[in-house]
Amino acid sequence: MTKLFYSPGSCALGIHVLLEEIGAPFELAKVNLAAREQFSADYVKVNPKSKVPALMRDDGSVLTEWPAIATWLALNHPDKGLLSLEKEQLARTLEAVDYVCASLHMQGFTRVWKPEAFSPNEADHGAVKARGQEIIDKGLIWFDGELASKAYLGGAQMSIADAALFYLEFWVAERLKQPLPAHVGAHYARMRARPAVAKALADEGLA
């Protein structure tokens, strides 16, 4: 059976949401990042990158990297409409996913949460965190504009891009305890109201 390796409230939450939206059976395998289980010999056998999410498919092979996992899941369940293959829609979906995963997460949140990854010098950490916050704020403004006249990033239908934005919204609202811009906040509330999202949050102990 498909197995998602996750840590509660991590970026794997977005993949967990997609699995719940799809509704096919899957198992959860918790990797406690706080206890550094991502570096354990057992987990390194699953994902030598020591990161979550990782998705073990039915044939035992493991897929890593948020955009790849989300794309693979959406393509395997085309009836769920999580990834339109219409040229403009597809390009815009990937644009949003990449902005969340590669820029806001990797460049923004990593600076805020792990400034030591950007500078070994503790005296720099305040400036590194401030730069991370700037990247996050700029991203939220961009997403706010995108959502000004739409329920979801692609229009009326939720896509993998919304699941990516959701984990980021969760971090801003629940971890940083910062307000979300109006349209992004409405999107966050809309996502939380979806039964699949509520179930993923509850199953991660985050409800």
Task: Label residue 113 exposed, middle or buried (CB < 10 Å: 0-12, 13-18, 19+).
Answer: middle
Residue from 16, 18, 22, 38 that binds ligand GSH (CB under 6 A)? 38
Nearest to 59, CA basis, from 3, 143, 141, 11: 3
Residue from 20, 46, 51, 136 that binds ligand GSH (CB under 6 A)? 51
Residue from 52, 104, 128, 196 that binds ligand GSH (CB under 6 A)? 52
Nearest to 206, CA basis, from 10, 70, 58, 19: 10
Given its phi and psi angles, is residue 202 left (phi above 0), alpha (psi -120 to 50 degrees) or beta? alpha
Interaction residues for ligand GSH, span 90-119 (CB under 6 A): 101
Task: Label residue 151 exposed, middle or buried (CB < 10 Å: 0-12, 13-18, 19+).
Answer: middle
The reply to whether 147 sits near ligand GSH by the rule CB under 6 A is no
Nearer to ligand GSH, 31 or 140 (CB): 31
User: Which span sits near ligand GSH by CB under 6 A: 46-54, 144-152, 154-162, 186-194?
Assistant: 46-54
The reply to whether 10 sits near ligand GSH by the rule CB under 6 A is yes
The reply to whether 47 sits near ligand GSH by the rule CB under 6 A is no
The reply to whether 164 sits near ligand GSH by the rule CB under 6 A is no
Which residues sit at the interface with ligand GSH, rule CB under 6 A? 10-11, 33, 38, 50-53, 65-66, 101
